[in-house]
Amino acid sequence: MTVGHVVLIGLMGSGKTTVGRKLASAIGRRFVDTDEEVERRTGRTVREIFESDGEPTFRLIEHQTLADTLATPEPLVVAAAGGAVLRDDSRALLVEPHRIVWLRAEPDLLIERVGRRRGHRPLIDDDPDLRLRQLWTERDPIYRSLAGTTVDVTGKSVEGVCSEIVEALA
Ligand code: S3P
């Protein structure tokens, strides 16, 4: 039987990692972040993989990492990196029995947050504001189509977002 994980999706800066850690400790599950898992498995940073092998290779590694993570028999909280929804075969994994939770935020909030943490985000190197707005427009419909639960994170604390998710999962 496939175990149901809680999987957080959403754009960079929406708080998947911070909320995911807090949520995992609140509901007594282990937390896995796919970017960290890619880096642990490959021994390379996300940025190094993008720069030396290119985005398609990164997406393939990301897909394999997501697939293996979701095959874990122990129920987890998983933060799926922002672009982990781009491949068809990755999207096909983000279905029941997993609980797919979309952390939604307006572009201005993402821009403000991501401005401070761009290390593992080479896609927005050139013009972070513009690139985030483009990614928001491209991906909003994708996250929407996958989400079982949507939490608008605007103006909410990490604790507030976690409580909403816990309520939605109950
Ligand atoms: C990406 C998001 C990043 C990281 C990479 C690509 C994306 O993860 O995987 O820079 O395409 O949205 P976070 O969503 O954790 O920032």
DSSP 32-53: EEHHHHHHHHHSS-HHHHHHHH
pLDDT tens digits for 120-165? 888 888 888 899 999 999 999 999 999 999 999 999 999 999 999 9
How would residue 101 be classed by pLDDT, with cut points 50, 70 and 90?
very high
Residue minimizing CA distance to atom 9 of ligand 1: 81
pLDDT tens digits for 38-72? 999 999 999 999 999 999 999 999 999 999 999 99
And the tokens for 121? Answer: 């985000």
Mutation pick for ligand 1 pocket among 16, 69, 123, 139 (CB with most ligand atoms within 8 Å): 123
Domain boundaries, the chain: 6-159
Give the pocket of ligand 1 (CB within 6 Å): 12, 16, 35, 46, 81-83, 120-123
φ, ψ at 79 (rounded to 5°): -95, 110
Mutation pick for ligand 1 pocket among 50, 120, 138 (CB with most ligand atoms within 8 Å): 120
CATH of 6-159, one of 3.30.70.1560, 3.90.550.10, 3.30.70.20, 3.40.50.300: 3.40.50.300
Strand partners, 35: none
pLDDT attached to residue 1: 47
- 49 alpha carbon – ligand 1 mean position (Å): 12
